[in-house]
């Protein structure tokens, strides 16, 4: 089997209302679909690579074209060789958009390999379990969304089977956010896991204050309390609180995670295959994490990460997005993932990633 071509299609659509976390505001949703074609008629699809429209969109297409000579002509089963030939830190890689594009290409390769052999990706990677607990991500700041609306969102998540939910902090003064945490805890009750995410909004001093004030509400974790590269700050916060620190969604490759882990900055690793270098590199991060007896709770798209967190022994929980984060979230793929009554998500039993883009729906949102 040989790869004959590689392309990218870019899509974007608006949110009904902008959503904000502690650091950023999002007005639209973007999707890049990378297609890898072979001489045997098997096509792999991966997604990621940065924004589909606006700043960085043209660079995504340029990078796909840049990597094409490395990928085309190769046997897709030589995925490690392909990865190493793409990741040349003097020119591309290390961090940023180029590594995100490598991630999307690598994800497409694994989808292709799974389809070629007729097995789901999670089984190719180890098949440690067939389902995994999930948490519903949300709790963003929005215009007109007060404490009552925040509580209602979380209560609705529980009706979908969620046994764990995540909310944002860092976008308003600390005491105001502590009140938001209190309201959510009261809304969901004491048995539901409450995950709190600051998206790098705090200095270490502020994060320590926030942790101290919300400890009584028993968060399951405190995510990204400080800037991604502030490893010492992560460690200072971790030492100051009983709340486990989670981090890593903005980290790149095994080398970045090595540094985060060595500094003892996080007990829970939020590796994201769409950012850090793809599935191939994620598995190296998973092994590094396991060697330190740490757990992985992947950040990002459930359609990719269900395979990865089900493949490894140190997988903790799956992040799950719904239409409160993306209005088309349950429509952009032909297959829809759901939580069961116990708050778990089953790994797909279909070949590859087991997900087919809804091209008929997406075509009106294509931007490149």
Q: Identify the residue whose tokens are 């180029």.
A: 98
Q: Is the pLDDT of residue 331 over 90?
A: yes
| Distance (Å) of CA 92 to CA 66, 108, 158 | 10, 19, 43
Q: What is the CA radius of gyration of the chain?
A: 20
Give ∠ CA 321-269-319 in degrees, rounded to 5: 10
Q: Which domains occur in the chain, in start order?
A: 3-118+359-365 (3.30.390.10), 123-346 (3.20.20.120)
Res 90: pLDDT = 79
pLDDT in tens, 145-168: 999 999 999 999 999 999 999 999
Res 92: pLDDT = 80
Q: Identify the residue whose tokens are 């998206």.
A: 199
Q: Is 189 exposed, middle or buried (0-12, 13-18, 19+ CB in 10 A)?
A: exposed
Average pLDDT over residues 77-91: 93
Res 228: pLDDT = 96
Q: Is the pLDDT of residue 51 over 80?
A: no
Quickly list H helices, 118-252.
Answer: 121-124, 147-159, 174-188, 204-214, 231-240
Percentage of the chain exceeding pLDDT 90: 93
Instruction: Find all residues with CB under 8 Å of 282, minimum gap 6, and list them.
Output: 271, 273, 276, 298, 308
Res 151: pLDDT = 98
pTM for the model: 0.96
Instruction: Find all residues with CB under 8 Å of 173, minimum gap 6, and list them.
Output: none
Q: Is the pLDDT of residue 52 over 70?
A: no
Res 91: pLDDT = 81
| Beta carbons of 33 and 47 less than 8 angstroms apart | yes
Percentage of the chain exceeding pLDDT 70: 98
């Amino acid at each position: 089997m040989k790869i004959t071509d590689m392309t990218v299609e870019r899509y974007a659509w608006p949110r009904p209302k902008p959503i904000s976390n502690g650091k950023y505001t999002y007005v639209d949703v973007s999707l890049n679909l990378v297609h890898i074609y072979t001489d045997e008629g098997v096509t792999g699809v991966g997604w990621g690579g940065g924004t589909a429209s606006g700043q960085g969109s043209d660079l995504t297409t340029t990078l796909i074209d840049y990597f094409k000579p490395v990928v085309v002509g190769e046997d897709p089963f030589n995925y490690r060789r392909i990865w190493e030939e793409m990741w040349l830190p003097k020119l591309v890689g290390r961090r940023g958009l180029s590594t995100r594009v490598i991630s999307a290409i690598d994800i497409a390769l694994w989808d292709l390999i799974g389809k070629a052999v007729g097995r789901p990706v999670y089984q190719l990677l180890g098949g440690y379990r067939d389902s995994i607990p999930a948490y519903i991500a949300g709790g963003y700041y929005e215009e007109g969304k007060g404490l009552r609306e925040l509580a209602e969102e979380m209560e609705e998540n529980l009706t979908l089977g969620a046994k764990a939910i995540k909310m944002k902090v860092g976008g308003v003064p600390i005491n105001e956010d502590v009140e938001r945490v209190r309201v959510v805890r009261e809304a969901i009750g004491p048995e539901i896991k409450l995950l709190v995410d600051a998206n790098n909004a705090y200095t270490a001093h502020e994060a320590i204050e926030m942790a101290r004030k919300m400890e009584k509400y028993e968060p399951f974790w405190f995510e990204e309390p400080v800037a991604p590269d502030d490893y010492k700050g992560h460690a200072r916060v971790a030492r100051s609180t009983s709340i486990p620190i989670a981090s890593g969604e903005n980290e790149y490759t095994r080398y970045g995670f090595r540094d985060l882990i060595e500094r003892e900055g996080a007990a829970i690793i939020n590796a994201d295959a769409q950012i850090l270098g793809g599935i191939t590199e994620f598995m190296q991060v998973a092994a590094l994490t396991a060697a330190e007896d740490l757990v992985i709770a992947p950040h990002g798209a459930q359609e990719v990460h269900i395979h990865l967190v089900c493949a490894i022994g140190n997988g903790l929980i799956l992040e799950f997005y719904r239409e409160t984060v993306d209005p088309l979230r349950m429509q952009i793929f032909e297959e829809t993932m759901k939580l069961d009554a116990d708050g778990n998500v089953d790994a797909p039993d279909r070949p590859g990633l087991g997900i087919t883009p809804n091209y008929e729906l997406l075509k009106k949102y294509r931007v490149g």
